[in-house]
Amino acid sequence: MKTTLKGILIGAVLLASAGQAFAYPPDNAAVLYYKAFILKEEPSDALGKMLAAVGKGEAKPDDQVRQYVERNRRVIKYAVTAADISHCDWGYDLSEGVSLRMPELAKCRQMAYVLAADARMLAEKGDYKEALKRCIAIHKMGIHAGNDTAIQVLVSNAICAMANKCIMDILPHVSNSTETLEWLGAQLTDISSRVPSMRTAIGNEAKFVSIKPTDRKELIEGVRDLGLPKDDLNKAEQVLRQHDDNEFYVMATEYYQSILSRVQIDYDLPYPQAKQALEDLNKEIENVVKEKPEAVIARVVFPIINRFVTIDTRDRTQFNAVLAGIDIYLVRVKTGKLPDELPAGLPKDLFSGKDFLYEKTGAGFTLTGQGKGLDDDSGLVLTGQGKDIVHKYEFKVAK
């Protein structure tokens, strides 16, 4: 009896361990993403540009794109499976500081183009639900891009913005389907709460970022490529050439971290105030660098962070517009017509903190932000120039 019981127990343990050994998918999405990146056929430069244009909705897929997508069908499957895994760890060694290698960022974006091209091809065939599922997978991959660093969040936001643009283009075809609209709304509400936050990324970066004397050569080369005014360039390069001691880089790191912490605080302000606070901080750094050479690194890097708040706000506003648009479509399906006024309680324009301006058009409706942002490459309909860009989102309805 005892022997039988022992045998059963051993069998159960073996079965359980065998189950773990062959568990698929893995619990880390990055494993499958890396697999997809390795197997993905590298397109020629021309085809790569075409894929990006198709993904963004700027061009229709041609035969080359169609064949490419078909040849990468298994790669798409890996990426879609990876997107559904909740945990994603790219294997960063944060102790590497600013020399942390991030090869997956561009690969994520390229993969997003392939998924978006596939989504548009599915939509062309009339398989709208499947096409929207691809868009959701793109969103999830965008979330997986991570929020340890600001550059990750920029990539993440760009991927999510492309997914939203694709959704907006498919929406008219499902605008009569309550079931699809409700499903999509629920998916996007969940995703929007998990999209990496620039504020969090800057906080994380402040904790781990370090600049070391070994980064000096790269900094000098990087500074030269920035196209700074000649005086600024000479000063920055001179300071970096003069200092190769550890003490200088410790001070530079501390100063940079203090700036990031202040940026994080400024991010909590509404957009216009946050933008103003960051512009003031930029001027402060320009003054500090005259007295403290170690501030030169922050001086070189900071103007990017200054722009982040605008890009972050733009992408979140677009997300809100899509969510608001879906709610308006649902009102139309339930009542048989578009509402005359914007329904209450919809997500807002984050540039102004106010509701979107709602307008019915011959083809559907538009939502326009009340605040002004900055020029961008999201493929949205924009009016104005430079810093006076007004974001307008067009939604069409099925006839």
Radius of gyration of the chain (CA): 24
What SS3 class is residue 392? strand
Within 13 A of 63's CA, how many CA atoms are on the CB side?
A: 0
Quick one: 99 or 287, whose CB is closer to another protein? 99
**CA 329 to chain CA mean position, Å:** 26
Quick one: 71 or 87, whose CB is closer to another protein? 71
At its nearest, how many Å lie between another protein and the CB of residue 340? 40
Q: What is the 8-class DSSP label of residue 359?
A: E
Residues 6+ apart with CB under 8 A from 171: 325, 326, 329, 395, 396
Under the rule (CB under 8 A), what is the footprint of another protein? Answer: 38-45, 47-48, 71-75, 97-103, 105-107, 109-110, 149-151, 154-155, 158, 211, 215, 218-219, 221-227, 300-301, 303-304, 377
At its nearest, how many Å lie between another protein and the CB of residue 9? 42
368, 373, 379, 383 alpha-carbon torsion, rounded to 10°? 60
At its nearest, how many Å lie between another protein and the CB of residue 96? 8
* CA–CA distance, 387 with 310 (Å, rounded to integer): 10
Quick one: 58 or 190, whose CB is closer to another protein? 58
Quick one: 46 or 344, whose CB is closer to another protein? 46
* CA–CA distance, 275 with 291 (Å, rounded to integer): 25
At its nearest, how many Å lie between another protein and the CB of residue 234? 11
- Give strand pairing partners of 372: 390
CA-CA-CA-CA torsion sign (192, 193, 198, 204)? negative
* CA–CA distance, 69 with 52 (Å, rounded to integer): 12
Quick one: 101 or 337, whose CB is closer to another protein? 101
At its nearest, how many Å lie between another protein and the CB of residue 68? 9
Quick one: 55 or 347, whose CB is closer to another protein? 55
At its nearest, how many Å lie between another protein and the CB of residue 64? 8
Packed helices 104-124 and 45-55: angle between N→C axes, nearest 10 degrees: 60
At its nearest, how many Å lie between another protein and the CB of residue 77? 9
Residues 6+ apart with CB under 8 A from 51: 43, 65, 68, 110, 113, 114, 117
167, 170, 172, 175 alpha-carbon torsion, rounded to 10°? -70
Query: Six-digit token pair at 24?
Result: 């698929």
At its nearest, how many Å lie between another protein and the CB of residue 382? 16
Do 208 and 94 touch, CB atoms closer than 8 A?
Answer: yes
Quick one: 144 or 348, whose CB is closer to another protein? 144
At its nearest, how many Å lie between another protein and the CB of residue 41? 4
Quick one: 176 or 261, whose CB is closer to another protein? 261
At its nearest, how many Å lie between another protein and the CB of residue 312? 14
- Give strand pairing partners of 357: 368
Sheet containing strand 381-383, strands side by side: 357-360, 364-373, 389-396, 381-383
What SS3 class is residue 360? strand
First-residue to last-residue Cα distance in the chain: 74
Quick one: 50 or 274, whose CB is closer to another protein? 50
At its nearest, how many Å lie between another protein and the CB of residue 324? 26
Quick one: 73 or 125, whose CB is closer to another protein? 73
CA-CA-CA-CA torsion sign (346, 352, 358, 361)? negative
Quick one: 74 or 87, whose CB is closer to another protein? 74
